[in-house]
Amino acid sequence: MHLPPYTTLHVTVDAGIARIVLDNPPVNVLGGTLIRELHDLLARVRDERSVRVLVFSSANPEFFLAHVDIHILDEMEELKEIADRDPHLNLFQGVGELLRHQPQVSIIELAGTARAGGAEFVAAADMAFAARETARLGQTETLMGIVPGGGGTQYLRRRVGRNRALELLLTADAVDADTAAAYGWINRAVPAAELHAFVDDVARKIAALPPEVVAAVKRVVPPDDLSEDLRAEDAAWAELVSGDLPARLMTGALERGAQTPEGERSLETLMRAVAADV
């Protein structure tokens, strides 16, 4: 199949598997270009019968998707066309819902960190496998003075249960792969040295099935309809993000090194320091 030259995605297709490498340096934030290119790619492969599995990994072994780009609110006018595609979802929910309803089986190969919008992307996929020694997942939005706005509240609650979702949302702590697997956030933790081979084996087994079988399994195990809950999430996010506090917290975070490798390695500590000064 023919694909355009993306700038934040590297895509190869072989034996029914599209391997998609996310590459938006320095820390793989989910920015406007990456959102546009994900929409374009998923639309192009949607009706491609030769593609049965989508495997997402990162060009940066330390960061899968750090989080949504803190500057994204400055790009909303340029992203309006994408945001308007589904009037019932906001821009960030649109990414997760597009992935959740993709006909192909989607698999995350998580070697590094995924926070906030990155964690939402992981939870939106059909399956996720993570490196035991190096992977981390966190919904850190409350440290920015907001709630998750890309489906995270609902994806998390359905994966881990209400009590654990409240723990993860309100502590905003990043957890390791074993904890994420025990909670049900991901499928399982795998030794880092074995992760790629393990994911490749899972993908190949699925891709070897007849296309109609893969489609039938996805059809009879459908994603939940989250329409009402996502509207409630968006309303809560919009109310908070329009206030003064999130802007001050985000500005402070950028000043202290957010969206740099050094700052992102201990983002929770950085954000708590910012909050103490605001």
Q: Is the pLDDT assigned to residue 49 strictly greater than 90? A: no
Confidence band of 2 (pLDDT split at 50, 70, 90): confident
Whole-prediction pTM: 0.96
Q: Is the pLDDT assigned to residue 118 strictly greater than 90? A: yes
How many Cβ atoms sit within 10 Å of the Cβ of residue 3? 14
Q: Is the pLDDT assigned to residue 124 strictly greater than 90? A: yes
Quick one: angle between helices 32-46 and 91-100, nearest 10? 30
Q: Is the pLDDT assigned to residue 186 strictly greater than 90? A: yes
Stretch 33-47: mean pLDDT, rounded?
96
pLDDT in tens, 192-202: 999 999 999 99
DSSP string, 46-110: HT-TT--EEEEEESSTTEEE--B-TTGGGGTTTTHHHHTT-TTS-HHHHHHHHHHT-SSEEEEEE
Q: Which residue is listed with tokens 């590094």?
A: 112
Q: What is the pLDDT of residue 81?
A: 92
Q: Is the pLDDT assigned to residue 42 strictly greater than 90? A: yes
Q: What is the pLDDT of residue 76?
A: 87
Q: How large is the C-alpha radius of gyration of the chain?
A: 18
Confidence band of 60 (pLDDT split at 50, 70, 90): very high
Closest CA to 144 of 263, 234, 249: 249
pLDDT in tens, 69-112: 999 988 888 899 998 989 899 999 999 999 999 999 999 999 99
Q: Is the pLDDT assigned to residue 205 strictly greater than 80? A: yes
**22 contacts 66 by C-beta, under 8 angstroms:** no
Confidence band of 163 (pLDDT split at 50, 70, 90): very high
Q: What is the mean pLDDT of the chain?
A: 96
Domains detected in the chain: 9-207 (3.90.226.10)
Q: What is the pLDDT of residue 148?
A: 97
pLDDT in tens, 145-158: 999 999 999 999 99
Stretch 199-212: mean pLDDT, rounded?
96
Residue type, 82: I
Q: What is the pLDDT of residue 1?
A: 75
Q: Which residues contact 5 (CB under 8 A, 6 or more apart)?
A: none
